C-alpha cells in the first residue's frame, strides 16, 4: 500500500521550489542586465571607433599648415565664430576642428589612356613642369583634368560643376603657405599662399595646364608666389563641429552633444563660414556620432591628438561611457 505525501512534505517541497525559482529568476535577471550592459558598451565602443576612424582618415590628407580650431558662439553653440587659431596655439575651449584636405580621390583615380602610347593617367598628377609654367599658368604633365573635373563635380554634388572647368579649385605648393595665408578669416583674408584655378586647357597630354586667377593678395598678374615641382590640389575644407547641445536627462545633467562632419566649403574664396549654413543642408554634412560627452583635439610636436567620449543608455536610468584617444602623425 502506497503512503501519500504528508502536508509537511508538501510544504517543504513548495518552499524548496520557491527558493529555486527565486534563485533562477535572480540569475536570469542579472544575466539579462549584464547582456544589456555589454551590448551598450559594444555599441558605444563601435560608435567611438567609427567616428575616430572617419575623422582620422580625412585628417590624414590635411594640407600641412591648415589644421586649425575655431570657437563656438556662447549663445548659440551650433554656430562657429571667426575666432580661429592654429591647432598648436588654439585655446583649450575652442571646440571646432577644421582643415583643408587635398583631393586623394582624384589623385588615385584613372579612367583611360590620354592617347595611344600613354599609360593610364591620374586625374591630377601632382607634378608641375616648372620650365613650361609661370605664375599664371601651371603645366601639369600626366594629368587628366577632364576626369578631375568630373570627379569634383560628383563629390561636390554639383557645387563645382564640370562646366566650370575646376573654377575655384586650389593648388598648394610646398613652402608657400601657413594657416594665415590660405583664406581663413583672422583679421584679414590672405590667400597669398595658394593658387586659385580659373579654368584649364589640355593642348596635349603632356601640357595639361591650370590657368590661374589673379591673386588679390599679391601684385597684379600673380597667381602664385612661388612655383615648385610638386603641388597638391584641394576642392574642400572640412570641419568637425559639435551640434545639438543638450543636458543629459540622467546622471548629473552633464552636457551632451552630437558631432557632424561639414564639407564642400572653400575658405580661399571667402566662404569659410558657410558650414554654419551647411549644418543641416543635405550634401554638405554627415552625422559622425551622437551622445558625445567629450571631444578634445590638440597638437604636440608632430602629432595631432583626438579624444572622444560617447555614452550609451542600457536602461531608462543607467548608462555606460566609452572614451578613446587617437594620435595621428603629420
200 vs 20: which has the higher pLDDT: 200
**Taking all residues of the chain, what is their mean pLDDT, rounded to a whole number?**
82
Shared domain for 186 and 116, answered yes or no, is yes
Q: What is the pLDDT of residue 10?
A: 64
Shared domain for 108 and 199, answered yes or no, is yes
Where b means 16+ CB within 10 Å and e means fewer, 60-85 reads ebbbbbbbbbbbbeeeebbebbebbb
- 250 part of a folded domain: yes
> How many of the other CB atoms lie within 10 Å of CB of 163?
9
Shared domain for 278 and 308, answered yes or no, is yes
Q: How many domains does the chain have?
A: 2
Which domain-ending residue is among 177, 211, 234? Answer: 234
Domain that holds residue 83: 41-93+237-329
- 50 part of a folded domain: yes
Share of the chain above pLDDT 90, in %: 38
Which domain-ending residue is among 211, 234, 257? Answer: 234
Q: What is the pLDDT of residue 256?
A: 87
Radius of gyration of the chain (CA): 29
Shared domain for 256 and 296, answered yes or no, is yes
Task: Reply yes or no on whether the pLDDT at 77 is more than 60.
Answer: yes
* Interval 199-253: pLDDT, tens: 999 988 789 999 999 988 888 888 888 889 999 999 999 999 998 888 876 656 5
Q: What is the pLDDT of residue 163?
A: 92
Range in 145-159, 199-213, 221-235, 263-277 with the lowest mean pLDDT: 263-277
> What number is the average pLDDT over the span 143-167?
91
Shared domain for 74 and 113, answered yes or no, is no
Task: Reply yes or no on whether the pLDDT at 265 is more than 60.
Answer: yes
For residues 51 and 66, give the distance between their C-alpha atoms in angstroms, rounded to a whole number.
21
Q: What is the pLDDT of residue 34?
A: 57
Task: Reply yes or no on whether the pLDDT at 58 is more than 70.
Answer: yes
Share of the chain above pLDDT 70, in %: 76
* Interval 81-116: pLDDT, tens: 778 889 999 988 899 999 999 999 888 876 655 455
- 293 part of a folded domain: yes
User: Cβ distance 52 to 329 under 8 Å?
Assistant: no
Q: What is the pLDDT of residue 42?
A: 76
User: Cβ distance 172 to 194 under 8 Å?
Assistant: yes
Task: Reply yes or no on whether the pLDDT at 126 is more than 80.
Answer: yes
> What number is the average pLDDT over the span 185-205?
81
HEC secondary structure over the chain: CCCCCCHHHHHHHHHHHHHHHHHHHHHHHHHHHHHHHHHHHHHHHHHHHHHHHHHHHHHCCECCCCCEEEEECCCCCCCEEEEEEECCCCCCCCCEEEEEECCHHHHHCEEEECCCCCCEEECCCCECCCCCCECCEEECCCCCHHHHHHHHHHHCCCCCCHHHCCCCCEEECCCCCCHHHCCCCCCCCCCCCEEEEEEEECCCCCCCEEEECCCCCCCCCCCCCCCCCECEEECEEEEEEEEEEEECCCCCCCEEEEEEEEEEECHHHCCCCCHHHHCCCCCCEEEEEEEEEEEEEEEECCEEEEEEEEEEECCCCCEEEEEEEEEEEC
Which domain-ending residue is among 194, 214, 234? Answer: 234
Shared domain for 204 and 124, answered yes or no, is yes
Shared domain for 164 and 80, answered yes or no, is no
Shared domain for 63 and 132, answered yes or no, is no
- 281 part of a folded domain: yes
- 313 part of a folded domain: yes
Start-to-end CA span in the chain (Å): 92
The pTM is what?
0.84
- 241 part of a folded domain: yes
Shared domain for 119 and 48, answered yes or no, is no
Q: What is the pLDDT of residue 84?
A: 85
Shared domain for 212 and 195, answered yes or no, is yes
> What number is the average pLDDT over the span 282-303?
88
* Residues forming a β-bridge with 9: none
- 244 part of a folded domain: yes
Amino acid at each position: 500500500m502506497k503512503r501519500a505525501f504528508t502536508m509537511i512534505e508538501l510544504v517543504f517541497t513548495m518552499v524548496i521550489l520557491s527558493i529555486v525559482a527565486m534563485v533562477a529568476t535572480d540569475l536570469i535577471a542579472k544575466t539579462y542586465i549584464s547582456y544589456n550592459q555589454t551590448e551598450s558598451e559594444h555599441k558605444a565602443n563601435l560608435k567611438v571607433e567609427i567616428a575616430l576612424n572617419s575623422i582620422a582618415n580625412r585628417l590624414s590628407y590635411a594640407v600641412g599648415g591648415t589644421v586649425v580650431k575655431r570657437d563656438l558662439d556662447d549663445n548659440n553653440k551650433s554656430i562657429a565664430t571667426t575666432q580661429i587659431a592654429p591647432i598648436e596655439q588654439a585655446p583649450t575651449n575652442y571646440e571646432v576642428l577644421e582643415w583643408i584636405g587635398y583631393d586623394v580621390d582624384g589623385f588615385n583615380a584613372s579612367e583611360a589612356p590620354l592617347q595611344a602610347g600613354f599609360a593610364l593617367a591620374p586625374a591630377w598628377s601632382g607634378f608641375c613642369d616648372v620650365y613650361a609654367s609661370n605664375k599664371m599658368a601651371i603645366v601639369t604633365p600626366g594629368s587628366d583634368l577632364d576626369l578631375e573635373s568630373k570627379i569634383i563635380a560628383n563629390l561636390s554634388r554639383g557645387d563645382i560643376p564640370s562646366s566650370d572647368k575646376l573654377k575655384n579649385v586650389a593648388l598648394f605648393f610646398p613652402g608657400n603657405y601657413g594657416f594665415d595665408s590660405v583664406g581663413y578669416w583672422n583679421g584679414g583674408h590672405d590667400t597669398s599662399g595658394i593658387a586659385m584655378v580659373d579654368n584649364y586647357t589640355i593642348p596635349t597630354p603632356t601640357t595639361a595646364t591650370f590657368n590661374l586667377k589673379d591673386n588679390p593678395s599679391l601684385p597684379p598678374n600673380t597667381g602664385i608666389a612661388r612655383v615648385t615641382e610638386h603641388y597638391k590640389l584641394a576642392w574642400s575644407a572640412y570641419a568637425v563641429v559639435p551640434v545639438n547641445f543638450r543636458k543629459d536627462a540622467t546622471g548629473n545633467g552633464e552636457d551632451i552633444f552630437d558631432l557632424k562632419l561639414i564639407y564642400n566649403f572653400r575658405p580661399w574664396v571667402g566662404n569659410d563660414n558657410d558650414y554654419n549654413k551647411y549644418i543641416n543642408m543635405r550634401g554638405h554634412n554627415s552625422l559622425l556620432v551622437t551622445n558625445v560627452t567629450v571631444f578634445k583635439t590638440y597638437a604636440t610636436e608632430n602629432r595631432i591628438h583626438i579624444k572622444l567620449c560617447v555614452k550609451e543608455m542600457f536602461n531608462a536610468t543607467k548608462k555606460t561611457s566609452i572614451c578613446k584617444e587617437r594620435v595621428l602623425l603629420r
